[in-house]
Amino acid sequence: MEEKTIVEKLTADFERIFGTEAEGVFFAPGRVNLIGEHTDYNGGHVFPCALTIGTYAAAKKRSDRIIRFASLNIRGGQITEISLDDPTLALDGSDPGPGRGADDWTNYPKGVIWAFAKSGHKIPCGFDILYYGTIPAGSGLSSSASLEVLTGLVLRELFNLDGVRQVDLAINGQKAENVYVGMNCGIMDQFASAMGKAGHAIFLDTNTLEYKYAPLDLKGMKIVITNSCVKHKLVDSGYNTRREECETALDTLKGVVGGLGSLGELTPEKFDGIADVLSETIAKRAKHAVYENARTIDALKALGQDAVEHFGNLMNESHTSLRDDFEVSCPEIDFLVDMAWKIPGVLGSRITGGGFGGCTVSIVKDEAIATFKETLTKAYKEKFSLTPEFYVIDAGEGAHRIC
Ligand code: ADP
Ligand code: MG
């Protein structure tokens, strides 16, 4: 659906559902990470770009203290209502307690409202908000981050919250997901959604939040996302376990390297010299984090020199490492990547996102895209009785107001 059509539908549905006209329409994109996976909570670098698919919202302030949430993606836009004074929102500065979980989708926007209040922004009255997302569910392209960043944008715009920078939308979004929802994600997804720039990837140092935009003009090639259409149970628990394993590695290595702040501070050479203090599994996890960070730094250079072939090789190495050392892949994804590697005109292919299903990202020459889609579709169907979905993507703009 074209953006114009989406905006028309969203505003019409807003009126139907809430019985009043929306005062603005907003958008925040999903993201794909080109390389630098599971490095964002290890103080390393990531290299994502924002997509042109994401989440839209129409919203309007109310004169009372009620917030009404609805999403066209959930139960036909059924309304969930909460008062700003509801203790579960914890807007009085009290501790919201342990995460409320991802099973109720309104915990994402509620978490953002909580995070804004926590950082000192007053929400003076309630509002009505209707969401509509165009990111395929379960694809791992970060619909949750786009929902959070978008909610922050809506708060800033509706209530003229001075001093809320674009990067604060990302920071508050992550805080909402970490504390309020209880998913211990890094900053990458929210950062890409808030800070994306059309035609560019973002090279981000997650330790300092320093970043650089890298032009993504792949001449004669495209970035193709392949959705495996599987999502394994481990997505959230596996993610949190990997995080803990990386923390264990860091704690142990601190005993060897004084003042070590994160795994991202280690070069592969330095790491290899001290890795034997770690148990086998923990060493594998830490090795991925350290080497992946080095690959990501290398990838920025490669892109700058138009060395896309080298960039592709780094993506392939990234996959091998995520499969064997970090162990966050799955048979379906490994199969799609293996197949892709065999197709002439594919420069690189790897799992992207949190893992245990979701999508692969590949760089494919224009003339090979049709073969790529046909070959993968046929082989994947035969092996897993599943049909993969393909998105040939453009790097899109970060969160913004549409009208
Ligand atoms: P992703 O990789 O897409 O971020 P997550 O499991 O982290 O996957 O987040 C998906 C969850 O985010 C959904 O289950 C839902 O609760 C919420 N969500 C995302 N987009 C929407 C939307 N448009 N409307 C309502 N909830 C949404
Ligand atoms: Mg998510």
Q: State pLDDT tens for residues 47-103.
A: 999 999 999 999 999 999 999 999 999 999 999 999 999 999 999 888 899 999 999
Among 56-65, 186-195, 233-242, 280-289, the minimum mean pLDDT is found in 233-242
Domains and CATH numbers, the chain: 3-213+397-401 (3.30.230.10), 217-393 (3.30.70.890)
Q: Is the distance from CB of 148 to CB of 173 less than 8 angstroms?
A: yes
Q: Is the distance from CB of 180 to CB of 114 less than 8 angstroms?
A: yes
Q: Is the pLDDT at 382 greater than 90, yes or no?
A: yes
Q: Is the distance from CB of 184 to CB of 174 less than 8 angstroms?
A: no
Q: Is the pLDDT at 255 greater than 90, yes or no?
A: yes
Q: How far is the CA of 143 from the centre of ligand 1 (A)?
A: 5
State residue 11 phi and psi, 5-degree precision.
Answer: -70, -35
pLDDT of residue 256: 96
- Work out the percent of the chain whose per-residue pLDDT is above 90: 94
| Mean pLDDT value across residues 178-191 | 95
pLDDT of residue 95: 87
Q: How confident is the model at residue 352 (pLDDT cuts 50, 70, 90)?
A: very high
| Mean pLDDT value across residues 387-392 | 97
| Mean pLDDT value across residues 99-127 | 96
Q: Is the distance from CB of 71 to CB of 131 less than 8 angstroms?
A: yes
DSSP state of 138: T
How many angstroms separate the CA atoms of 270 and 121, rounded?
44
pLDDT of residue 93: 82
How many angstroms separate the CA atoms of 25 and 28, rounded?
11
Please report the beta strands in 193-307, taking only residues with DSSP state E, as ranges in sequence order: 200-205, 211-215, 221-231
Annotated catalytic residue 272:
no
pLDDT of residue 234: 80
| Mean pLDDT value across residues 208-218 | 96
Nearest to 232 by CA among 129, 355, 350: 355
Does residue 6 line the site of ligand 1, with CB under 6 A? no
Q: How confident is the model at residue 196 (pLDDT cuts 50, 70, 90)?
A: very high
244: amino acid identity, one letter? E
Per residue in 1-53, pLDDT (tens digit) is 899 999 999 999 999 999 999 999 999 999 999 999 999 999 999 999 999 99
For residue 132, the ligand 1 atom closest to its alpha carbon is 23
Per residue in 298-327, pLDDT (tens digit) is 999 999 999 999 999 999 999 999 999 999
Of all protein residues, the one whose alpha carbon is nearest to atom 11 of ligand 1 is 144
For residue 189, the ligand 1 atom closest to its alpha carbon is 4
Nearest to 221 by CA among 303, 301, 318: 303
Does residue 71 line the site of ligand 1, with CB under 6 A? yes
Q: How far is the CA of 218 from the centre of ligand 1 (A)?
A: 30
Q: How far is the CA of 337 from the centre of ligand 1 (A)?
A: 25
Q: Is the pLDDT at 357 greater than 90, yes or no?
A: yes
Residue 328: exposure state from Cβ atoms within 10 A (0-12, 13-18, ≥19)? buried
Among residues 189, 298, 325, 338, which one is catalytic? 189
Does residue 69 line the site of ligand 1, with CB under 6 A? no
Q: Is the distance from CB of 219 to CB of 225 less than 8 angstroms?
A: no
Q: Is the pLDDT at 236 greater than 90, yes or no?
A: no
How many angstroms separate the CA atoms of 265 and 260, rounded?
7
For residue 183, the ligand 1 atom closest to its alpha carbon is 7
Q: How far is the CA of 148 from the centre of ligand 1 (A)?
A: 10
Does residue 349 line the site of ligand 1, with CB under 6 A? no
Q: Is the pLDDT at 233 greater than 90, yes or no?
A: no
Which of 100, 147, 181, 328 has most ligand 1 atoms within 8 Å of CB, for mutation? 147
∠ CA 212-369-393 to the nearest 5 degrees?
35
Does residue 42 line the site of ligand 1, with CB under 6 A? no
Q: How far is the CA of 334 from the centre of ligand 2 (A)?
A: 21
Q: How confident is the model at residue 251 (pLDDT cuts 50, 70, 90)?
A: very high
pLDDT of residue 303: 96
How many angstroms separate the CA atoms of 272 and 376, rounded?
37
Q: Is the distance from CB of 349 to CB of 366 less than 8 angstroms?
A: no
Which ligand is nearest to the Cα of residue 108, counting in written order? 1
Please report the beta strands in 134-267, taking only residues with DSSP state E, as ranges in sequence order: 200-205, 211-215, 221-231
Residue 140 Rama label (left phi>0; alpha psi -120 to 50; beta): left
pLDDT of residue 274: 98
For residue 104, the ligand 1 atom closest to its alpha carbon is 16
Q: How confident is the model at residue 237 (pLDDT cuts 50, 70, 90)?
A: confident
Of all protein residues, the one whose alpha carbon is nearest to atom 26 of ligand 1 is 105
Distance of CA 94 to the CA centre of its chain: 29
What is the β-pairing status of strands 66-71 and 127-133?
parallel
Q: Is the distance from CB of 398 to CB of 193 less than 8 angstroms?
A: yes
How many angstroms separate the CA atoms of 289 and 44, rounded?
8
**Residues in contact with 338: Cβ distance below 8 Å, sequence separation at least 6, in sequence order:** none
* Mean of the per-residue pLDDT values of the chain: 97
Q: Is the pLDDT at 159 greater than 90, yes or no?
A: yes
How many angstroms separate the CA atoms of 218 and 327, rounded?
30
Q: How confident is the model at residue 235 (pLDDT cuts 50, 70, 90)?
A: confident
Q: How confident is the model at residue 232 (pLDDT cuts 50, 70, 90)?
A: confident
∠ CA 269-273-279 to the nearest 5 degrees?
120
CB atoms within 10 A of CB 267: 13
